[in-house]
Structure 1
Amino acid sequence: MSRRPRLHIFDLDGTLIRGSAAPVEISRQLGLLDEIGEVERDLIAGRIGPPEYAVRIHALWTDLTEAHVAAAFEAAPWLMGIREVWSEIRSRGDYCAVISLSPSFFVERLLGWGAHAAHGSRFPDLPFTRPVDPAGILSAAAKVEIAGRLCAGFGLRLDDCVAYGDSMSDAAIFAAVPTAVAVNADHHVAGLAGHTYVGSDLREAYELVRSAG
């Protein structure tokens, strides 16, 4: 009996990017680390939600260009081995996707590294001339909805998924799939995962579940 393919779902901030997040790296390019730090603290403390967070970072990034985004992507503290893991996933007939609350114009760059799909919050085109539409900003629950749509497109079920994440925004997807890997995780999800990884190489995190299916 042949094995069923699996869909590996990766978070971005704090997971593929260790100890940082796409908005932080973008703000670093603009010299706005103090300002993004304040917004990040409000989000983590629950004083604002993803839509309010998006409005505030949009207001910070009035001078943002594609060149800034490209530089932030290049300089981000990525885990090692991402492209190698995704290549192996593809070679086994499995699928890999990134689902993140960060801006889609950053997240979608990972398609070039071998992800089958990459979904993020929808922001206006750069440079910004329009406001953020809160309807396009993702939430923790939206990660599960997008995963469901991806499964339907690949002919899979949520039961065929493996999720990798690090924080509260991953709790819903961890609860929805049978296999979850906490990667450099905080207390919100460390106890929800069947596997825990602390380190700087995605190949080692992937090895925890590779032989299981």
Structure 2
Amino acid sequence: MKKSKLMFSLALGALFFSLQVSAQDAITWSTQRNGAKVADTVALGDYLPLKDGVVYVETVIEIPNVNQKELFSRAKLAIQKTFTNSKMGTSNYDAESGICSINNFYDISDMTAFSALATNNPVTDQYNFNALLSIIVKDGKYKIKMEVPQYSYGQASRYKTYSDFQGSAVPVSTLANSRQGNKRQRMRVLKTLNDKMLVTFNLVQKEMSKKLDNDF
């Protein structure tokens, strides 16, 4: 039992480190490399976990002596608690395959938008990052996977359906790796996205570690 707890702690520590190591403060990042000058480019890998150039992270957690059926029920509850924005979100539960998934969004306000500064009652623009989260369960273990492939930018009220989002969505990579303006803004947004992903992983693991409250 002690060994299992140790392995679980090590797995959590490795995941948190992999996410946090790239989540540096934007101004510190810029100053360390360029003094007071802002970098010409912003690299995704400086702030986010990547796989084949795509924002992606996964981890496998072992929970000995807990069967797939119970882990699936825990995963359903975890999925239902992950995102607060359900405007365009969809979820899917496949008990036979042991997969719970959700397609939803991280909304990150643009605190430097001119539209937010030009009026006493501004409509804040937002970055809407499309996040795909899956929990795959088997007897005694589960895997969390998350990918953030696209984003759109604009007033949140523009997006009534997922089709609205797709009509203006572009790859997350367009926020980085090219010479663009608003570099500090982009560094801050990427750091915030990393922080939100970490919060999601923490929440999922917390819920998956809870025994079902079905004894009464």
Higher strand share: 2
Higher helix share: 1
TM over 0.5: no
| TM-score normalised to structure 2 length | 0.28
| TM-score normalised to structure 1 length | 0.28
